């Protein structure tokens, strides 16, 4: 089972009303939650570890996990409120305003962490949960304690607006990246992580030096580039789509990559260290295909496996 560790929240998506200004419709979201939902819909054994409220929105999030076949045995439930993210869409691109103080997801501590079940073979971390304390330290502690025995994928998805102490964030993120077998980053992530490196290739090499066997760099409409530990570089174009919005695109790309690697039986630390370039290319192409469906409809609404056939 792939255990997705990080935030679950409600995206408040603007929607036209019959009269007056636009209203907001609550959609399930959060980077890590989106990836868990997408994996579940793709038929991959998946669970989620997060702090989840018992309030109305928390129940909506739990229902979404259940409906998509995601295991909920590792949820940390509390009566704190659910994180809300109000979305502003400009030319199909999303900007967010977060309401996250004292929430169920943000306030989990290492003492709250459950014992991982024996069927957890891989861990996925990412999103704002790696920046917002105290949960960021909690996920770092989980990665440190459970990451050595399992394959680990990390998507830093760095959002400078959430970083209150750059040195503390950098130290925590570096420790997490040292345990990662797969790292998915954007050009912006690389620039933040390695501002003193000379360019793209030097930045990727610096990331690989931390220990990742597979580094994936996504470039929006320009597709994705994968760099393997053996020195191979793979480029995959983005798939054409009629873009409604980009909410959840990167999250479902990650799910597609993980699903492909899992189904090919290579989602282990040993297998990833010697990953075949053809299998890596197949994974990236699957990620691009999954993401293309997500951007073609409103909100983070990943496809089911049967929607990708044909």
* CA R_g for the chain: 18
Architecture of the CATH domain 2-15+26-304: 3-Layer(aba) Sandwich (3.40)
What is the mean pLDDT of each successive set of 10 residues along the chain, which is 310 residues long?
97 83 88 97 97 98 98 98 88 79 97 95 96 97 96 95 94 97 95 88 93 92 89 88 71 96 97 96 94 75 81
> What is the per-residue pLDDT for 222?
80
Q: Could you count the other beta carbons within 10 Å of the beta carbon of residue 256?
A: 28
Under 8 Å between Cβ of 68 and 25: no
DSSP per residue, 225-263: EEEETTS-EEEEPPPP---S--TTHHHHHHHHHHHHHHH
Residue 192's pLDDT is: 94
pLDDT of residue 298: 66
Does residue 308 come out as left (phi exceeding 0), alpha (psi in the -120 to 50 range) or beta?
A: alpha
Q: Tally the C-alpha atoms within 13 A of residue 242's C-alpha that lie toward its C-beta.
A: 1
225 bridge partner residues: 217, 235
pLDDT given at position 48: 98
Q: Would you kindly state where each structural domain of the chain is located, as residue ranges?
A: 2-15+26-304
- pLDDT for 310 equals 54
CA distance 100 to 309: 39
Quick check: bond before 200 cis, omega within 30? no
Task: Evaluate whether 220 touches 238 at the Cβ level (below 8 Å).
Answer: yes
Note the pTM of the prediction, 2 decimals.
Answer: 0.94
What's the confidence (pLDDT) of residue 239?
Answer: 77
Ramachandran class of 281: left when φ > 0, alpha when ψ lies in -120 to 50, beta otherwise: alpha
Looking at the DSSP bridge assignments, the partners of residue 185 are 217
**Is the Cβ–Cβ distance between 183 and 157 less than 8 Å?**
no
Cβ neighbours, 10 Å, residue 150: 19
CA distances from 170 to 136, 158, 167, 205 (A): 12, 10, 5, 18
- Beta-bridged to residue 88, according to DSSP, are 95
């Amino acid at each position: 089972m792939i255990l997705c560790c990080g935030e679950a929240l409600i995206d408040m998506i603007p929607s036209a009303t019959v009269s007056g200004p636009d209203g907001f419709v609550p959609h399930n979201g959060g980077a890590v939650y989106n990836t868990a939902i997408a994996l579940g819909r793709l038929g991959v054994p998946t669970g989620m570890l997060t702090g989840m409220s018992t309030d109305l929105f928390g129940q909506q999030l739990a229902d979404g996990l259940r409906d998509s076949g995601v295991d909920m045995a590792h949820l940390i439930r509390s009566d704190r409120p659910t994180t809300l993210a109000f979305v502003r869409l400009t030319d199909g691109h999303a900007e967010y305003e977060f309401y996250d103080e004292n929430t169920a997801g943000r306030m989990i501590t290492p003492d709250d962490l459950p014992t991982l079940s024996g069927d957890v073979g891989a861990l996925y971390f990412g999103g704002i949960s790696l920046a917002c304390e105290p949960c960021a330290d909690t996920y770092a502690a989980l990665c440190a304690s459970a990451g050595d025995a399992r394959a680990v994928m990390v998507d830093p998805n760095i959002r400078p607006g959430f970083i209150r102490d750059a040195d503390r964030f950098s130290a925590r993120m570096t420790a997490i990246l040292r345990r990662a077998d797969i790292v998915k980053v954007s050009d912006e992530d690389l620039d933040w992580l390695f501002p003193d490196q000379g360019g793209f290739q030097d930045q990727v090499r610096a990331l690989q030096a931390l220990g990742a066997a597979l580094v994936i760099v996504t470039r929006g409409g320009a597709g994705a580039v994968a760099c393997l530990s053996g020195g191979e570089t793979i480029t995959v174009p983005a798939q054409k789509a009629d873009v409604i919005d980009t909410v959840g695109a990167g999250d479902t790309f990650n799910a597609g990559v993980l699903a492909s690697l899992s189904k090919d039986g290579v989602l282990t630390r040993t297998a990833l260290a010697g990953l075949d370039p053809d299998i890596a290319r197949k994974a990236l192409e699957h990620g691009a295909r999954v993401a293309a469906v997500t951007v073609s409809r409103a909100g983070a609404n990943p496809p089911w496996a049967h929607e990708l056939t044909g």
